[in-house]
């Protein structure tokens, strides 16, 4: 289809509803036929362009070749199994064991996890998670519950074509973090009274932010209401941001759709990062 045809279809789609409620143009006086003028909305981008973007781990991982990535997994002794077929994914793997001392998995039953598409990761994302594990271990986290990593593209996805974000297994949505640390307040899974024990940081319950607020940086606001869990969760996120482990980090502060998870993503070929 020619470009002019595409534009024409787009304009038709945006005006159909209005045309159904108003009299036809031909029935109006000639002076009413002029199209109303609209002020263009100012462009607004949350992306940050950094002159040294190529030195960020996220950039190096996102633009890594499949064999180079597998070699680095082996050098880091990260246990994994290769997935024979995953449309849209450069180098699909599963990580049934811990990665740098942290397990990453969905809430599915153990028997179902081995066949779930949501537990398929691109090799490059696993390297970023291995770096993230160093931060998590410092905060006592040893278990990460996710909603999904890979989300298979549609059945008509072209063979051999690579995808981005979840269809490319280059993003993971984190629901909760669990571990062993001193007792904290406000957790949805508080440790036993009287001392140390398991804790859980639930993103939806414990992030304590607000849509539109920066999550990290000089303009970020402290979690409201304050709690030990919210402080710990925010510290983990902002340490990952500071170390530039992911191209995009989207939190409950981004929009309502992210109210219950952290979206951590690698994006190949871009000079920017996005944090909200």
pLDDT tens-place string over residues 166-218 = 999 999 999 999 999 654 444 444 443 334 579 999 999 999 999 999 999 99
In the structure, what pLDDT confidence band is assigned to residue 97 with cuts at 50, 70 and 90? very high
What is the average pLDDT value for the chain, to the nearest integer? Answer: 84
Is residue 45 situated within a structural domain? Answer: no
Q: Tell me which range, 83-87, 108-112, 181-185, 193-197, is most confidently predicted by mean pLDDT.
A: 83-87
Is residue 192 situated within a structural domain? Answer: yes
Q: Which domain holds residue 235?
A: 50-275
Is residue 196 situated within a structural domain? Answer: yes
Is residue 241 situated within a structural domain? Answer: yes
Q: pLDDT tens-digit profile of 124-155?
A: 999 999 999 999 999 999 999 999 999 999 99
In the structure, what pLDDT confidence band is assigned to residue 47 with cuts at 50, 70 and 90? confident
Q: Greater confidence, 102 or 15?
A: 102
Is residue 4 situated within a structural domain? Answer: no
What's the mean pLDDT in 13-34? 41
Q: Is the pLDDT of residue 9 over 70?
A: no
Is residue 100 situated within a structural domain? Answer: yes
Is residue 23 situated within a structural domain? Answer: no
Is residue 248 situated within a structural domain? Answer: yes
What's the mean pLDDT in 42-46? 53
Q: How many domains does the chain have?
A: 1
The predicted pLDDT at position 124 comes to: 98
The predicted pLDDT at position 6 comes to: 37
DSSP track, the chain: --HHHHHHHHHHHHHHHHHHHS--GGGS-GGG-SPPP-PPPPP---EEE-TTGGGSHHHHHHT--HHHHHHHHHHTT---EE-S--TT-SSEEE--S-BTTBEEEESS-HHHHTT-GGG-EEHHHHHHHHHHHHHHHHTTEEEEEEEES-----TTPPTT----TGGGT-EEEEEEEEEEES--SS-TTPPPTTS-EEEEEEHHHH----TTS-SSSTTPPPPSS--HHHHHHHHHHHHHHHTT--SEEE-TTT-GGGTT-EEEE--TT-SEEEE-
What's the mean pLDDT in 12-32? 40
């Amino acid at each position: 289809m020619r470009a002019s045809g595409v534009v024409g279809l787009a304009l038709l789609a945006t005006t159909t509803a209005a045309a159904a409620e108003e009299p036809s143009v031909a029935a109006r006086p000639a002076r009413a036929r002029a199209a109303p003028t609209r002020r263009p909305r100012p462009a607004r981008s949350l992306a940050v362009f950094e002159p040294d973007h190529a030195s960020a781990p996220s950039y190096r991982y996102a633009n890594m070749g499949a064999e180079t990535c597998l070699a680095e997994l082996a050098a880091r002794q990260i246990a994994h199994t290769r997935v024979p077929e995953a449309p849209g994914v450069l180098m699909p793997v599963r990580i049934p064991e811990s990665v740098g001392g942290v397990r990453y998995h969905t809430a599915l039953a153990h028997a179902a996890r081995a066949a779930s598409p949501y537990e398929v990761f691109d090799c490059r994302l696993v390297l970023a998670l291995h770096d993230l594990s160093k931060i998590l271990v410092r905060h006592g986290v040893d278990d990460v519950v996710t909603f999904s990593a890979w989300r298979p593209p549609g059945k008509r996805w072209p063979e051999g074509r690579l995808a981005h974000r979840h269809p490319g297994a280059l993003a993971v949505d984190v629901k909760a973090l669990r571990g062993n640390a001193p007792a904290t307040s406000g957790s949805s899974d508080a440790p036993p009274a009287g001392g140390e024990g398991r804790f859980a940081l639930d993103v939806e319950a414990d992030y304590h932010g607000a849509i539109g607020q920066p999550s990290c940086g000089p303009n970020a606001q402290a979690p409201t209401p304050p709690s030990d869990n919210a402080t710990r969760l925010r510290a983990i996120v902002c340490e990952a941001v500071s170390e530039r482990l992911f191209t995009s980090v989207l939190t409950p502060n981004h929009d309502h759709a992210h109210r219950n998870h952290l979206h951590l993503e690698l994006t190949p070929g871009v000079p920017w990062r996005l944090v909200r």
